[in-house]
Amino acid sequence: MQQTTAIHKDTNRLNTIDALRGLVMIIMALDHVRDFYSYTAFRVTDVQQTSVAFFATRWVTHICAPTFVFLSGVSVYLYSKKVGDLRKTSLFLFTRGLWLVIVEIFIISFILTQGYQMTLLEVIWAIGCSMILLSALIWLPRWLQLFLSLAMIAGHNALPPVGQVTDSNMLIAFLHNFPFFIARPPVLVAYTIVPWVGVMLLGYCIGSWFTYPREKRNALFLRAGLSALILFAVLRYSNVYGDPFPWSTQDRGSIYTVLSFMNVTKSPPSLLFLSITLGIACLLLVLLDKASPSLQKILVTYGRVPLFFFVMHLAVISCTSWLWTYLSFGKAVNLSFTPSKDWPSGYQPDLWRAYIVWVLLVGLFYFPCYWYGQYKAKSKLHLLSYL
């Protein structure tokens, strides 16, 4: 009981979690704005075609999904300690995970496709499924939880991809495969489940670090972050294991060779992808714990209402891009889901446009997020815990 009380009263460590969550939400918005306002006919991480600016704009957003999933696991651990009831925690995880899957299918898919052209199974779906599985995994011994999380993160690259997805292997494809498309009904499975559940389970295991004194906690995250980055550098340089696509020397110049080295696989997230992104996340936890109160306050404002910000910012991006393309080109075009051959002749990708819209969007949502965060904190309505 004393430990639970200490966790509840130590707002600084909770502010650090929310600050990092807020930071990655802000960065995530940049990628979504780029998808709707500056989409390219080529994959922006393709070092054969991309520019440094486009690559960097996309690459920096890689940190978002792993960090958010990891922090979800941390938050689950702290929630379980707060309520002191594993059964209640398990039920909450199952129902919240199911709710997130419903949100992905019926709300986010409609927003992103501007009319429900297909069902998208992306990050919210992966988080929801991971929570459903975690509702069972939290009953296991801690050593087994840690083993399973590391096995999913480090070992899944040894598994071959499914390849052609059929009815007979679809379940395996949902668990572990590159993004794939189901024709009837139209479903794009952009995020498969493993190893995302491993990342959330790892966050749950490491959640106990937030019960330690500040200096010990920061020292652990510093060592973990540096170790993960060293692991990334050694394995990536060797090209032996950890990512299905090796790096190579590029004819375009040394800078593109560096980009090739950094270009690791997100879907499904490779060991190297998770090593570098979660390594950076651990270091950011240390830095944000020492950040100024004013900076923490800004980031926490976004980080305390992640689902509210996620759904609302996507809705605003989708609606405003529809209006922008209609006014600019005479017809509304969803650039992300329209073949490039059907794009308006006057359209050109423009990162400056994307960055300007991003800054305006983040600024626009500060006060709504602040208001909703205050309302949610004061309200006793249990339903708000799902929002």
- Residues 6 or more apart whose CB falls under 8 angstroms from that of 353 comprise 37, 38
Q: Residue range 6-26: average pLDDT? A: 77
pLDDT-wise least confident of 107-116, 148-157, 232-241, 245-254: 107-116
pLDDT at residue number 161: 86
Q: How far apart are CA 57 and CA 61, in angstroms?
A: 7
* CA–CA distance, 361 with 365 (Å, rounded to integer): 6
- Average pLDDT across the chain, whole number: 93
Q: How confident is the model at residue 3 (pLDDT cuts 50, 70, 90)?
A: very low
Please tell me the predicted confidence (pLDDT) of residue 183: 84
Look up residue 371 and give its two tokens: 């208001």
For the stretch 102-124, pLDDT in tens is 999 999 999 999 987 899 999 99
**pLDDT one-digit tens code per residue, 160-179:** 888 889 888 999 999 999 99
Question: What is the model's pLDDT at position 12?
Answer: 58
Residue 61 has pLDDT above 90, yes or no: yes
pLDDT of the residue at 386: 66
pLDDT digits (tens, 9 = 90+) for 321-339: 999 999 999 999 999 999 9
Residue type, 181: F
Query: Angle 194-18-84 (CA atoms, 0-180°, nearest 5)?
Result: 75
Q: Report in angstroms the alpha-carbon separations of 204 from 69, 80, 154, 284.
A: 10, 10, 17, 18
pLDDT in tens, 124-142: 999 999 999 999 999 999 9
Whether the CB-CB separation of 199 and 281 falls below 8 Å is answered with no
How would you label 136-164 residue by residue, b for 16+ Cβ within 10 Å and e otherwise? ebbeeeeeebbebbeebbbebbeeeebee
Please say whether the dihedral angle defined by the alpha carbons of residues 71, 75, 81 and 82, taken in this order, is positive or negative.
positive
